[in-house]
Amino acid sequence: MRAVFNTDETHNLVVCTLCSCYPWSVLGLPPVWYKAPAYRSRAVIDPRGVLAEFGMTLPDEKKIRVWDSTAELRYLVVPERPDGTEGWSEEQLANLVTRDAMIGTGLATLPGVAP
């Protein structure tokens, strides 16, 4: 498994175009849409459009990098740290990270906001 980090300049999105590879042991059962041909093909062709369907509109200047998992190598996104979390413990920060954030179709939740 390889972790890729979201930054101010880059947002990462994970897809498996061949077989719907998904890190079950880490994230649990895959969501139905992750295995859908529409997500698998469009995530590579139109990542901004796919993210918009998930309610994510990123600035035009933010690069989107799509990672294609395989049976041998699966990717996991480490989301950006939300503002207002400076000094938080690892456990507190982990509570802000959702499954979708680790796939790249979501962001870490904001402090005080339910996921």
Q: What kind of fold does domain 2-103 have according to CATH?
A: Nitrile Hydratase; Chain A (3.90.330)
Q: Any idea which residues carry the catalytic annotation?
A: 16, 19-21
Give the separation between CA 73 and CA 80, rounded to whole angstroms: 22
Read off φ and ψ for residue 101, nearest 5 degrees.
-65, -35
Helix H or strand E segment including 66: strand 63-68
- pTM (2 d.p.): 0.90
Convert the pLDDT of each residue in 7-58 to its tens digit.
999 999 999 988 777 778 888 888 999 989 999 999 999 999 999 999 999 9
Q: 112 phi and psi, to 5 degrees?
A: 85, 0
Say if residue 90's pLDDT is above 80: yes
Nearest to 98 by CA among 27, 49, 9, 40: 27
- 80/106 Cα distance (integer angstroms): 11
pLDDT band at 115; cut points 50, 70, 90: low
CA distance 34 to 20: 7
